[in-house]
Structure 1
Amino acid sequence: MEIYLVRHTETICEKGICYGQADMDIKEPYLDVFEEIKAQLPTDAIVYSSPLMRCKKMAEFISNESTFDKRLMEMNFGNWELQPWNDISQEEIQSWMDNFVTVSVPNGESFEDLHERVGEFYSELLHKKEAKVIIICHAGSIRSILSHYHKTNLIDAFSLYSIKYGEVIKLSF
């Protein structure tokens, strides 16, 4: 089995804004970048994607038969969604930063919550034993899958796995 993890391309969101499950569009022009990404992927793979627009556009470009799964969505930042990071209470941010793995964002998720829902998807996928799979999603979701794959601690996910916009990561089983 081969799994190709693909992060969406750059969004139109201004730098310094907190966004996770907010449905942000991607920067144009993007078709040339999509072509470059598609060239790195097998043509006979099954495509799964987060339903958020920034992933959905690429999935539909790569395949007419993509499956969209909410479990692949980015972390839910709750009250912080679309807020400038600098405007969020320093006390709230510090509490979360001190233990982002288990502390939930107000009315949102912790990284552990994201990891659990992404892990459910990942486990189901491994049981299907499809030959080649493309997963188009977000940095947080990809870090979660990589933590499952490499059996690493969640606390290390951000230091171990830096994922660029449009990056393709191949996992082999």
Structure 2
Amino acid sequence: MREPACGPLGQVWVWRHPRPLHGEGRCIGRSDLPVDRRRAKRLANRILAAARRHGLPREIWTSPLERCACVGRMLRRHGFVHRIDERLIELDFGAWDGRHWNAIAPAEVAAWEADFAEHAPGGGESLAAMKSRVRRFISQASSPCLIVGHAGWIGAAQQAQRTSTAASWPAAPRWGTLTVIETSVADSSSSKTSARFAYGSPTRSAR
């Protein structure tokens, strides 16, 4: 696996992956769900068009999970170099992963929200640990760096230099949409949401 090489200033262009199949109402982190091929193709075409329009590099970085990697493979057919990096993977929700949100005890979710940065939901990975790997990737990322990634990763990148709380966590971007992050600040987000909203709880629906 090749490390991305570059300095600390620049831009990271991150498209959230297409909506995965069979994920409605579930806590989805490392669960490797497929996506509809037509949606993946539409996102690949949007990235290709953006690269042509803005003169972006023909190199796409993705999480190893299928909902991101499938878009990278499609772009490879259009001449992109497709690179997979474990640091781009979604938050590890441990025992919560794949379960319906309403099957997770409210007390467990409340414990995470009370110590949002350091508590590891389901015994998986804390946001502090996730933000550490996000910062390592960003500090070495070429500029502009193109990524197909996850909502949690995008939120961690936006708040890479901030103390995260459940109240200050950015809203999840819509499926297949672009977020451009200035890596010199890497924390510019005024969106606010709860932990469960950001990660797809059925209590609210992301816009």
TM class by smaller structure: 0.7 to 0.9
Give the equivalent residue in structure 1 for 2:28.
19
| Deviation, structure 1 residue 167 | 1.0
Q: Secondary structure at the match of 1:100?
A: coil
Q: Secondary structure at the match of 2:121?
A: coil
Q: Does the 8 Å contact 1:23/1:54 carry over to 2?
A: yes
Which structure carries more helix by proportion? Answer: 1
In structure 1, C-alpha distance between the alignment counterparts of 2:102 and 2:91, rounded to whole Å: 19
Count of aligned residue pairs for this structure pair: 166
In structure 2, C-alpha distance between the alignment counterparts of 1:105 and 1:50, rounded to whole Å: 20
1:75 and 2:81 are equivalent in the alignment: no
Q: Deviations over 1:109-137 (max 9, x none)?
A: 11111111111111122xxxx34320111
Correspondences of 1:83-98 after superposition (within 5 Å): 83-98=99-114
| Deviation, structure 1 residue 161 | 4.5
Q: Does the 8 Å contact 2:56/2:144 carry over to 1?
A: no
Q: Does the 8 Å contact 1:46/1:134 carry over to 2?
A: yes
Call closer, same or farther: CA 1:94–1:122 in 2, change over 3 Å: same
Give the equivalent residue in structure 1 for 2:145.
133
Equivalent of 2:65, from 52, 57, 63? 52
Q: Deviations over 1:94-115 (max 9, x none)?
A: 1112222111113301111111
| Deviation, structure 1 residue 28 | 4.3
Relative contact order (C-alpha < 8 Å, sep 6+): which is higher?
Answer: 1
| Deviation, structure 1 residue 23 | 0.6
In structure 2, C-alpha distance between the alignment counterparts of 1:33 and 1:134, rounded to whole Å: 13
Q: Which amino acid in 1 is paired with 2:72?
A: A
Q: Does the 8 Å contact 1:101/1:112 carry over to 2?
A: yes
Q: Does the 8 Å contact 1:72/1:141 carry over to 2?
A: yes
The unaligned stretches of length 5 or more in structure 1 are: none
Call closer, same or farther: CA 1:161–1:17 in 2, change over 3 Å: closer
Call closer, same or farther: CA 1:135–1:32 in 2, change over 3 Å: closer
Q: Does the 8 Å contact 2:18/2:176 carry over to 1?
A: yes
Q: Secondary structure at the match of 2:68?
A: helix
Equivalent of 1:104, from 105, 114, 120? 120
Give the equivalent residue in structure 1 for 2:5.
none
| Deviation, structure 1 residue 81 | 0.9
Q: Which amino acid in 2 is paired with 1:60?
A: R
Give the equivalent residue in structure 2 for 1:34.
44
In structure 2, C-alpha distance between the alignment counterparts of 1:132 and 1:161, rounded to whole Å: 23
Give the equivalent residue in structure 2 for 1:122.
138
1:5 and 2:21 are equivalent in the alignment: no
1:166 and 2:176 are equivalent in the alignment: yes
The unaligned stretches of length 5 or more in structure 2 are: 1-9, 185-207
